[in-house]
Amino acid sequence: MIFRDQHTRQAEGQGTEAQAAAQKQSGTEAGAVTGFSSATAAYGFFLIPAMFAVMAVTTALWIFIGFHPTCLAVCRWFHARKGAEAPG
């Protein structure tokens, strides 16, 4: 559900019935996003200690340092920049 719909549908100007359906759909999608985010976060509790066990601490830290700016760049590109696909 999260990846199927690429863009948010606008319900303005389509009447109260369409707005109610859009409100219901947004509640369903919010639940799916919360579940997906929680499942992804749960992997962090496994992967971070596993990385420290498999590789040198400094190497793991450099990977973390590189990962976070990459996430920020992707978020900015798709959500925060002017003319973004899915502005937030």
pLDDT value of residue 55: 94
Angle between helices 57-75 and 16-54 (to 10 degrees): 160
What is the model's pTM? Answer: 0.52
pLDDT value of residue 26: 82
Residues 10-65: pLDDT tens digits?
565 678 887 888 788 888 888 888 988 898 888 888 888 999 999 999 999 999 89
C-alpha to C-alpha distance for 56 and 50, rounded to whole angstroms? 11
pLDDT value of residue 57: 92
pLDDT value of residue 1: 52
Using an 8 Å Cβ cutoff, are 43 and 15 in contact?
no
Residue boundaries of the structural domains of the chain? 13-44, 55-88
